[in-house]
Amino acid sequence: MPDNGQASDQIKLSCRNLWKVYGKDAASFFTGTDAPGDTAALARRIRETGHIVAACDVSFDVRVGEIFVIMGLSGSGKSTVVRCLSRLVEPTAGEVRLDGRNLLKASPDELIDIRRHKMGMVFQSFGLLPHLTVLDNVAFPLRLQGSSEGERHARARKMIELVGLKEREAAFPHQLSGGQQQRVGIARSLAVDPELWFLDEPFSALDPLIRRQMQDEFLRLQQLLRKSIVFITHDFLEALRIADRMAIMRDGRIVQMGAPADLVLNPADSYVAEFTSEVPRSRVLTSADAIDASLSVAADAPKIDGRVKLEDLLPELAARPAGLRVVDVAGNALGMVTPGSVIAVLADAKSQPNAA
Amino acid sequence: MQSHSQTLPSRRIGGDLVRGLDRQALVWLAITAFLLVSPGFNALLPWLKTYPAELVLPITPALNQFMSWFVDSFGFIFKGIAWLLQWPIAAVQAVLHWLPWPATISIVAMLAYRVSGWRLAAFSVVGMLYMVVVGFWIESMNTLSLVAISVPLSVAIGFLLGVAAYRWRAAERIIVPTLDFLQTVPTFAYLLPVIKLFGFGPVTGLITSLLYAFPAMVRNTQLGLKEVPEEVVESGRMSGATPRQLFWLVQVPAARRQIMLGINQTTMAALSMVIVASIIGGSADIGWAVLSTMRKASFGEAFLAGIVIALIAMIMDRITWAIAARDRAGDPPAQAALTRHRHLLIGLALVALFLLLAQVLPALAEWPRDWRFFPARSIDSAISTFIVAGKSWIELIKKAAFYFAMLPVRLGLEATVKPATWGFAWSTIHTVLYVLVLGGLAVYAARTWSLMAGIGIVIWSAVYFFGITNLPWLGLVALGTALAWKVGGRSLALGTGLGLVYLLVAGIWEYAILSIYLCGIAVLLSFLVGTALGIWAAHSPRVSHILRPINDTLQTMPLFVLLIPIVMIFKVGEFTALLAICLYAIVPAIRYSENALRSLSTEVVEAATCMGCTTRQLLFQVKLPLARPGLMLGLNQTIMYGISMLVITALVGTKELGQQVYVGLGNGDFGVGMVAGLGMAAIAMIADRLTQAWSRRQRAELGLG
Ligand SMILES: Nc1ncnc2c1ncn2[C@@H]1O[C@H](COP(=O)(O)OP(=O)(O)O)[C@@H](O)[C@H]1O
Ligand SMILES: [Mg+2]
Q: Which residues contact A296 (CB under 8 A, 6 or more apart)?
A: A336
Please tell me whether residue A337 adopts helix, strand or coil conformation: strand
Q: Tell me the C-alpha distance between B220 and B57, whole Å.
A: 40
| Contact criterion met (CB < 8 Å) for A121 and B329 | no
Which of B242, B99, B226, B236 has its CA nearest to residue B169?
B226
Residues of A in contact with B240 (CB under 8 A): 112-113, 115-117, 141, 144-145, 192
Torsion angle, CA of B348/B351/B355/B357, rounded to 10 degrees?
110
What pLDDT sits at residue B64?
Answer: 92
Q: Answer whether residue B2 shows pLDDT above 80.
A: no
How far apart, in Å, are the Cα atoms of A72 and each of A41, A232, A285, B223, B652?
Answer: 22, 8, 21, 34, 69
pLDDT-derived band at A204, boundaries 50, 70, 90: very high
Residue A127 phi/psi, 5-degree rounding, is 60, 35
| Contact criterion met (CB < 8 Å) for A121 and B234 | yes
The verdict on residue A161 lying in a domain is no
What pLDDT sits at residue A188?
Answer: 95
In B588-609, which positions are buried (b, 16+ CB within 10 angstroms) versus exposed (e)?
bbbbbbbbbbeebeeeebeebe
How far apart, in Å, are the Cα atoms of A330 and each of A295, B193, B557, B585?
Answer: 21, 88, 81, 81
Q: How near does any CA of chain B get to the CA of A41, in Å?
A: 33
Provide the 10 A C-beta neighbour count for residue B646. Answer: 30
Q: Answer whether residue A343 shows pLDDT above 50.
A: yes
- Is the domain of A308 the same as that of A294? yes
Give B379-422 pLDDT, tens digit per residue: 888 888 888 888 888 888 888 888 888 888 888 888 888 888 88
What pLDDT sits at residue A4?
Answer: 46
What pLDDT sits at residue A5?
Answer: 46
- Is the domain of A39 the same as that of A85? yes
Distance A77 CA to ligand 1 centre (A): 6
Q: Which of A79, A82, A103, A112 to mutate to test the interface with B (most CBs of B within 10 A)?
A: A112
Which of B373, B423, B386 has its CA nearest to residue B403?
B423
More confident residue, A130 or B23: A130
More confident residue, B380 or B168: B168
- Of the candidate ranges A125-139, B300-314, B420-434, the one whose mean pLDDT is the lowest: B420-434
Give A230-266 pLDDT, tens digit per residue: 999 999 989 988 999 999 999 999 999 999 888 888 8
Q: Which of A18, A19, A21, A22 to mutate to test the pocket of ligand 1 (most atoms within 8 A of CB)?
A: A22
What pLDDT sits at residue B8?
Answer: 40
pLDDT-derived band at B340, boundaries 50, 70, 90: low
Which of A21, A18, A76, A75 has its CA nearest to residue A49?
A21
Q: Tell me the C-alpha distance between B644 and B563, whole Å.
A: 13
ipTM score: 0.85
What pLDDT sits at residue A33?
Answer: 57
Q: Tell me the C-alpha distance between B597 and A153, whole Å.
A: 48
Q: For ligand 1, which residues put their CB under 6 angstroms from it?
A: A 22, 52, 54, 72, 74-80
Q: Tell me the C-alpha distance between A182 and A127, whole Å.
A: 9
Q: Tell me the C-alpha distance between A138 and A191, whole Å.
A: 7
In B206-236, which positions are buried (b, 16+ CB within 10 angstroms) versus exposed (e)?
bbbbbbbbbbbbbbbbbbbbeebeebbbbbb
Residue A55 phi/psi, 5-degree rounding, is -135, 135
Give B234-262 pLDDT, tens digit per residue: 999 999 999 999 999 999 999 998 999 99
Q: Tell me the C-alpha distance between A244 and A257, whole Å.
A: 11
For B358-385, what is the mean pLDDT? 83
- Is the domain of A251 the same as that of A346? no
Helix (H) or strand (E) holding B340: helix B337-340
Residue type, B588: P
For A322-334, what is the mean pLDDT? 85
> Percent of chain B at pLDDT above 90?
49
What pLDDT sits at residue B7?
Answer: 41
Give CA angle at A188 (A186, A190), nearest 5°. 70
Q: Which of A83, A121, A129, A159 to mutate to test the interface with B (most CBs of B within 10 A)?
A: A129
Q: What is the DSSP string of B30-43?
A: HHHHHHHHGGGGTT
What pLDDT sits at residue B11?
Answer: 42
Domain edge (last residue) among A276, A310, A343: A276
Q: How near does any CA of chain B get to the CA of A121, in Å?
A: 7
The verdict on residue A84 lying in a domain is yes
pLDDT-derived band at A32, boundaries 50, 70, 90: low
What pLDDT sits at residue B14?
Answer: 42
Residue type, A56: C
CB B530 within 8 A of CB B588: yes
- Is the domain of A32 the same as that of A110? yes
Q: Tell me the C-alpha distance between B671 and B56, whole Å.
A: 14
What DSSP designation does A309 have? B
Residues of A in contact with B239 (CB under 8 A): 115-116, 140-141, 144, 188, 192
More confident residue, B134 or A278: B134
In B355-377, which positions are buried (b, 16+ CB within 10 angstroms) versus exposed (e)?
beebeeeeebbebeeeeeeeebe
Which of B343, B311, B273 has its CA nearest to residue B106?
B343
Name the packing angle between helices B299-326 and B256-277 (round to 10°).
170
- Is the domain of A102 the same as that of A23? yes
Residue-averaged pLDDT of chain B: 87
**Burial of B617: CB neighbours in 10 Å, binned 0-12, 13-18, 19+:** middle
What pLDDT sits at residue A39?
Answer: 84
- Closest ligand 1 atom to residue A20 Cα is 12
**Burial of B181: CB neighbours in 10 Å, binned 0-12, 13-18, 19+:** middle
Provide the 10 A C-beta neighbour count for residue B440. Answer: 10
Please tell me whether residue A245 adopts helix, strand or coil conformation: strand
> Percent of chain A at pLDDT above 90?
58
pLDDT-derived band at B49, boundaries 50, 70, 90: confident
What DSSP designation does B469 have? G
Interface of A with B (CB under 8 A): 83, 86, 88, 112-113, 115-117, 119-121, 123-133, 135-136, 140-141, 143-145, 170, 172, 174, 185, 188-189, 192, 198
Provide the 10 A C-beta neighbour count for residue A100. Answer: 8
Q: Tell me the C-alpha distance between B287 and B279, whole Å.
A: 8
**CATH at A295:** 3.10.580.10
For chain A, what is the largest distance between any 2 Cα atoms, rounded to a whole number of angstroms? Answer: 69
Q: Answer whether residue B699 shows pLDDT above 90.
A: no
Give A48-104 pLDDT, tens digit per residue: 998 999 999 999 999 999 999 999 999 999 999 999 999 999 999 999 999 999 999
For B66-92, what is the mean pLDDT? 92
Helix (H) or strand (E) holding A198: strand A196-200
Q: Which residues contact B440 (CB under 8 A, 6 or more apart)?
A: none
| Closest protein CA for atom 1 of ligand 1 | A22
What pLDDT sits at residue B336?
Answer: 53
Radius of gyration of chain A (CA): 22
> Percent of chain B at pLDDT above 70?
95
- Is the domain of A272 the same as that of A198? yes
What pLDDT sits at residue A8?
Answer: 64
Residue type, B661: V
Q: Tell me the C-alpha distance between A274 and B527, whole Å.
A: 57
Q: Which residues contact A188 (CB under 8 A, 6 or more apart)?
A: A120, A128, A137, A138, A140, A141, A159, B235, B239
CB B205 within 8 A of CB B283: yes
- Of the candidate ranges A22-36, B6-20, B375-389, the one whose mean pLDDT is the lowest: B6-20
Which of A329, A243, A348, A214 has its CA nearest to residue A290?
A348
Q: What is the DSSP string of B630-689?
A: HHHHHHHHHHHHHHHHHHHGGGG---SHHHHHHHHHHHT-HHHHHHHHHHHHHHHHHHHH
Q: What is the DSSP string of A12-43?
A: EEEEEEEEEEESTTGGGG--S-S-S--HHHHH
What pLDDT sits at residue B154?
Answer: 96
- Is the domain of A269 the same as that of A221? yes
Give B283-295 pLDDT, tens digit per residue: 788 999 988 888 8
- Structural domains in chain A (count): 2
For B491-517, what is the mean pLDDT? 93
| Contact criterion met (CB < 8 Å) for A136 and B327 | no
**CATH at A72:** 3.40.50.300
Taking the mean position of all CA atoms in its chain, how far away is CA B234? 39
CB B85 within 8 A of CB B194: no
What strand order describes the sheet that includes A101-102? A52-63, A11-22, A93-98, A101-102
- Is the domain of A292 the same as that of A211? no
**Residue-range definition of the domain harbouring residue A301:** 281-351
Neighbouring-strand partners of residue A67: A229
Provide the 10 A C-beta neighbour count for residue B380. Answer: 18
Give A125-142 pLDDT, tens digit per residue: 999 998 899 999 999 999
Neighbouring-strand partners of residue A257: A247
What DSSP designation does B246 have? I
Q: Answer whether residue A215 shows pLDDT above 90.
A: yes
Q: Answer whether residue A203 shows pLDDT above 60.
A: yes
Residues of B in contact with A140 (CB under 8 A): 236, 239, 249
Please tell me whether residue A304 adopts helix, strand or coil conformation: strand
CB B49 within 8 A of CB B510: no
Torsion angle, CA of A287/A293/A299/A302, rounded to 10 degrees?
-20
The verdict on residue A42 lying in a domain is yes
What pLDDT sits at residue B683?
Answer: 94
- Of the candidate ranges A3-12, A342-351, B652-661, the one whose mean pLDDT is the lowest: A3-12
What pLDDT sits at residue B206?
Answer: 92
| φ/ψ bin of A65: left (φ > 0), alpha (ψ from -120 to 50), beta (otherwise) | left
Residue B425 phi/psi, 5-degree rounding, is -100, 145
- Is the domain of A101 the same as that of A19? yes
The verdict on residue A5 lying in a domain is no
Which residues, chain by chain, have CB under 5 Å from ion ligand 2? A 79
Residue A232 phi/psi, 5-degree rounding, is -100, 140
What pLDDT sits at residue A36?
Answer: 57
For B104-121, what is the mean pLDDT? 92
For B125-152, what is the mean pLDDT? 94
CB B558 within 8 A of CB B271: yes
